[in-house]
Chains A and B, each alone.
Chain A
Amino acid sequence: MKAEELFKELNVEYEMMKVKGNEDPRYRVKVNADKLEDIIVKFKENGFRHFVALSCVDWIKDGKFELIYHLFSYETLEDVFLSIYIPRDEPKYRSLRHLFPQIETYEREIHEMFGVDFEGNDRLIPLILEDWNDMPPMRKDFDTEKYAKEKYGSIPPVEGGDEE
């Protein structure tokens, strides 16, 4: 089914994203956090079987995290981006790994890099970093240059020579 018909059935508002270079239409929808799972199941049954990526954006001025779920249909050649907003102080959301298996790995990475807790996912062990006990590094208030200078610049060279 085409994406516009599904939007009409579900009664949600959408907007189109600008596209140059590629050619397929891309739709962006803001949904309610409680209704997301039903919407994804409905899209999955109607041809949107390719789950492309799950991204997280830190809107520090609004005090929210945005989670973007991206689906693609090989039959009608359309992209759909579903975004939900969760509060930044205690970020948590339901895990949707029973729908697509790669969502488990995306949730592991977002837990490690942003600090979002996904309930129902029991495999939230670190994927990329090892022995990390500072703040989650992709948040906007983590200063990476200061961290690099303090941690690596303060180690003395072994046999003399200049510091950088």
Chain B
Amino acid sequence: MNENPFPSIIPEKDWKKIQRMLSKRSLWMIHFCTGCGAMEMPPTMTSRYDMERFGIIPMATPRQADLLLVTGYVAVKTLKRIVRVYEQMQDPKYVISFGSCPINGGLYWDSYNTIKRLDKYIPVDIYIAGCMPRPEAIMDGFLKLMKDIDEGRADGWLRYRKYYDKYRANQMRVFRRWDE
């Protein structure tokens, strides 16, 4: 919940700090393997590298998830579904992108079907480099995201609301129909 439950006891600025501290320790990620980086997700989830000790577990539906992982390259057909899933998630929500393909195109820089920069279509909070990133690098990315949430810097969802027209114009240039 985002509202202060005891407005008379807890002052408003302290409530923001408490809310961020509690929510950073229970981020639920949505179960969507969008590209080849998803091969290193099962080892991160199971007992050897164990991301569940930080409170991160996979969730089946977007309505109850906070974290979207774009694992690797994004083809045009998948971008439409990523945008739909992102818009169905509730605020506050965060996006982490894996690998070198969402940064500048990566290995497929001259392909006709992959997008080259993910930042033009949805706002990204953390980038993790590698091809593909090791589980230790993924955990490092999660810890950096938690630190950013604590200090109030992870505000991709606010930027999406503010610059919505520009993001939408960029998306419609890549896929021509939105309703199909």
| Residue B33 is within 8 A (CB to CB) of chain A in the complex | no
**CA of A147 to CA of B72 in the docked complex: distance in angstroms?**
22
Min CB–CB distance B172 → chain A (angstroms): 10
16 A-B pairs with C-beta separation under 8 A: A130-B76, A130-B77, A130-B175, A145-B110, A147-B112, A151-B112, A152-B115, A152-B117, A153-B116, A156-B120, A156-B170, A158-B123, A158-B167, A159-B159, A159-B163, A164-B117
**CA of A152 to CA of B73 in the docked complex: distance in angstroms?**
14
CB nearest neighbor in A for B165 = A158
CB nearest neighbor in A for B76 = A130
Residues of A near B111 (CB, < 8 A) are 144, 148
**CA of A129 to CA of B173 in the docked complex: distance in angstroms?**
16
Interface set of B (CB-CB < 8 Å, partner A): 76-77, 104-105, 109-113, 115-117, 119-120, 123, 159, 163, 166-167, 170, 173-177
Min CB–CB distance B91 → chain A (angstroms): 19
| Residue A125 is within 8 A (CB to CB) of chain B in the complex | no
Determine whether the beta carbon of A148 is less than 8 Å from that of B177. Answer: no
A interface, size bucket: 10 to 19
Q: A144-B110, A145-B110 are in contact. Are A157 and B117 (CB under 8 A)?
A: yes
| Residue A120 is within 8 A (CB to CB) of chain B in the complex | no
| Residue A19 is within 8 A (CB to CB) of chain B in the complex | no
Determine whether the beta carbon of A148 is less than 8 Å from that of B76. Answer: no
Determine whether the beta carbon of A158 is less than 8 Å from that of B120. Answer: yes
Min CB–CB distance B87 → chain A (angstroms): 16
Contact of B120 among A131, A137, A144, A157 (CB under 8 A): A157
| Residue A161 is within 8 A (CB to CB) of chain B in the complex | yes
**CA of A145 to CA of B159 in the docked complex: distance in angstroms?**
32
Contact of B116 among A148, A156, A159 (CB under 8 A): A148
Determine whether the beta carbon of B176 is less than 8 Å from that of A131. Answer: yes
Determine whether the beta carbon of A131 is less than 8 Å from that of B175. Answer: yes
Determine whether the beta carbon of B112 is less than 8 Å from that of A144. Answer: yes
Question: Binary interface profile of A, 90-123, with partner B (CB < 8 Å = 1, else 0)?
Answer: 0000000000000000000000000000000000
Contact of A158 among B76, B104, B110, B166 (CB under 8 A): B166
**CA of A122 to CA of B113 in the docked complex: distance in angstroms?**
26
CB nearest neighbor in B for A130 = B77
**CA of A157 to CA of B116 in the docked complex: distance in angstroms?**
11
**CA of A142 to CA of B93 in the docked complex: distance in angstroms?**
40
Determine whether the beta carbon of B110 is less than 8 Å from that of A148. Answer: yes
Determine whether the beta carbon of A155 is less than 8 Å from that of B112. Answer: no
**CA of A153 to CA of B173 in the docked complex: distance in angstroms?**
12
Residues of A near B167 (CB, < 8 A) are 158
Residues of B near A156 (CB, < 8 A) are 120, 170
Given A157-B119, A158-B123, 4 other A-B contacts at CB below 8 A?
Answer: A152-B116, A156-B120, A156-B170, A158-B170
